[in-house]
Structure 1
């Protein structure tokens, strides 16, 4: 890995060494750009897959789709891969494109300021070191800051607690009374893993989830050899999965026949798996199919039916020294509490101060909610290109498909600016505004906009995270960079 040098200058600075940042670096290398660095605040690469090491951590998107087309994961072992395989994939990507010397670990950008005279970004790293670059590419992700609600009395709790994205393996759960607060995407993976070893496990569920079975396939050695020796067989599998997942977007359209069929499929799975009518009622969502993330697991419902596992739907009132008190006054003793309570998904830039043209800060500009043109660029912030930015998340297909399209768009932008010797550009504010108005109009037709609370939208109900259509529709918009959409500085 590289070492941070004070007052160093670079063509490009990438923030984050997860899937997005590493993919961006690989594409820059392919395009002939070598003067870039990746600034990573963590002690290793991997982003969300480095942080989420809880038992059972895996992807609920098919692994043939959860890789870059330019670097297929040919020997991924199973249809739904576990966390270690994605770390291995990213390390293989680093080796393939010789990215190791471009990565700076344990380095956090605390401030980024656009210099209007020099047409460069100025960065403060770890509060002291200063570097500059012409282009700034934040790849900070959407699920990188764990969220623990501010429960009354939590500081009085004498047991141990941690967030699922900061799993503490030093805490022994064997024969302990364990409480899991949260029952969504992470919890449905770790609960089946920890349930067999606990003495008692209480799951505090705020709202039920629509769940479909995850039909796992472990590839044989013969199949893996075939993928590796004939990559076109892998790509055919990828295409079939892509087409299937793309067609699935229709389930997210309010009132559609596809949505009704999807809901019925989830209900059938629930009814077939959960025989206790009281438990089944607790696990039946009261909101529209697709409003929240649709989960895939074949192990969660069986785990809930173990004799020492309890599903609690009464809201939490507060903590006390020995555990949790619900609003009905009941005390739930616990030795360990696991917060499967999600992330601050709309704080894209976290605590990073970003200052653009005329001293405009990104926090102020996004005061009513984050937004960007194509999810990639924001007015008043020249030469700043976001990866996995606002309104580019999906609920029906692989996010890496969206990210790879963004990488190509950004490379095109940099190539054109370099070729035409244009020092800086910023997206036209009218184009940005028109795009986002139409986007929000389109989103109103989706299940995302219905009455449930979800991490997709802010407290005012504006959908911040999700894209309004298919991957193909997004590709049509980002396939070709258009300099006419921008103001040259």
Structure 2
């Protein structure tokens, strides 16, 4: 196996779905001069890191996969963490991108060298790479977010973040405090509830939870998919059309939102009998403003005898457990922080500098922004995957990543060693359009990880994935200033 070059045509950071999507896209079009730098010892991104009990996807498996690499053997409609990770690994091997990956290689800085027109990329081990095109594919959900609660380091028991689950910590018979009730917590709470002595669930805000139409695929399903592969394609098409409808409802067709609100309210009524608990689990904000969750077992689990839902705000973490605003000390043996990810700090902690040595952090002081979510003025030949305003309120991010990978590959093919920098006026027009559309969406109606402290929606795309595919179908040279390196 040939070692990846230290001076590649394309350097990709991250071997999750985004990085692998681009690597495959490059190889499928005859481009072999690229390297993927991955900080961990194996590929997988969030599906490698998030190994908490019950970890899985809330997008149906036929849709949460590459369009060019269907998996006819998904064990169930909503795949679990290990099955998704294994699918990505098999797909990467099938398309021959594994030799291009360098593991245990954490990128710490990247700077554009104006004299050569290349990116100089440095790793934690002191290695340097010189790349013609720099593609950060670290995603929006790669760094765990810890809450800023006083005394968080004072707890004398065991504590960890759900994205860094400590499997050596035995929970059986313990008093466990769970801080946070987001997408991760609603998956692991039902898994650990039967084995713990007491479970304290600290809820900052109630969640809109939809029933999860999950099912295990039976042998006859797999046989039918193998005999008639188009059946899974039809299944995928159906899920995609529904996701497109949901995404449009959150941003434009808001007259349909009561339909989704009715479904979550009915699900809550059917699964929680206690009226006081049901009231505590009823959200007080518009559905879709925060991420809509899917679960069949979280609500029943919160109603079990050994579970206490705490809605008082945590004011401090003491050596014995969390203390809430009413003065109550909630003693615990273990604290699990299910507090999500630092989605607004894109590319951190990598230090990225562009033309003139300007830090990307300064350019993004009021929030990350990029043309098509891909290109930033002042940062030539840098193309982002899963960049700002490309997340979805409904649908599969894999579809968006495929669109971005095709766009970047087209750029690499057309540039042929030249340097391209998106025109500032093009990026400004794009940003004004996207933020204007987002201002009319449900995502501006509450505080969530979609928005930053300036009120700007940094993460989400306001349209359908079909529109994004159309607008990224080719690299538009007119949108860029293109010249020779150096």
Q: CA deviation at 1:11?
A: 0.8
1:343 partner SS:
coil
Indicate if the aligned counterparts of 1:2 and 1:103 stay in contact, CA closer than 8 A: no
Distance, in Å, in 2 between the alignment partners of 1:52 and 1:160 is 18
Query: Does 1:109 pair with 2:103?
Result: no
Residue of structure 1 equivalent to 2:433: 438
Indicate if the aligned counterparts of 1:123 and 1:132 stay in contact, CA closer than 8 A: yes
Indicate if the aligned counterparts of 2:421 and 2:482 stay in contact, CA closer than 8 A: yes
Indicate if the aligned counterparts of 1:427 and 1:487 stay in contact, CA closer than 8 A: yes
**TM-score in terms of structure 1 length:** 0.97
**Matching residue within 43, 47, 50 for 1:49:** 47
2:8 partner SS:
strand
- Structure 1: give runs of 5+ residues left out of the alignment: none
Distance, in Å, in 1 between the alignment partners of 2:277 and 2:317 is 25
2:111 partner SS:
strand
Distance, in Å, in 1 between the alignment partners of 2:94 and 2:116 is 35
Residue of structure 2 equivalent to 1:190: 188
**TM-score in terms of structure 2 length:** 0.97
Residue of structure 1 equivalent to 2:447: 453
**Matching residue within 345, 348, 370 for 1:347:** 345
Query: Does 1:37 pair with 2:31?
Result: no
Indicate if the aligned counterparts of 1:253 and 1:259 stay in contact, CA closer than 8 A: no
Residue of structure 2 equivalent to 1:359: 357
Distance, in Å, in 2 between the alignment partners of 1:311 and 1:288 is 22
Q: CA deviation at 1:71?
A: 1.1
Distance, in Å, in 2 between the alignment partners of 1:254 and 1:207 is 25
Distance, in Å, in 2 between the alignment partners of 1:326 and 1:294 is 27
Residue of structure 2 equivalent to 1:308: 306
Distance, in Å, in 1 between the alignment partners of 2:158 and 2:2 is 37
Q: CA deviation at 1:4?
A: 7.0
- Structure 2: give runs of 5+ residues left out of the alignment: none
Q: Please give the root-mean-square deviation of Cα atoms over the aligned residues, in Å.
A: 1.4
Matching of residues 389-400 of structure 1 within 5 Å: 389-400=387-398
Kindly provide the CA deviation profile for residues 273-322 of structure 1, in whole angstroms up to 9, marking residues without a partner as x.
11111111111111111000000000001101110101000000111121
Indicate if the aligned counterparts of 1:179 and 1:338 stay in contact, CA closer than 8 A: yes
Distance, in Å, in 2 between the alignment partners of 1:284 and 1:202 is 18
Distance, in Å, in 1 between the alignment partners of 2:254 and 2:40 is 44
Distance, in Å, in 2 between the alignment partners of 1:246 and 1:377 is 25
Q: CA deviation at 1:222?
A: 1.9
1:161 partner SS:
strand
Distance, in Å, in 2 between the alignment partners of 1:296 and 1:2 is 44
- List structure 1 segments (4+ residues) > 4 angstroms apart after TM superposition: 1-5
Q: CA deviation at 1:127?
A: 4.5
Q: CA deviation at 1:271?
A: 1.3
Residue of structure 2 equivalent to 1:201: 199
Residue of structure 2 equivalent to 1:474: 468
Aligned length: 483
Distance, in Å, in 2 between the alignment partners of 1:17 and 1:469 is 27
Matching of residues 148-187 of structure 1 within 5 Å: 148-187=146-185
2:135 partner SS:
strand
Indicate if the aligned counterparts of 1:251 and 1:290 stay in contact, CA closer than 8 A: no
Q: Which of 195-204 and 273-282 deviates more?
A: 273-282
1:324 partner SS:
strand
Distance, in Å, in 1 between the alignment partners of 2:290 and 2:102 is 36
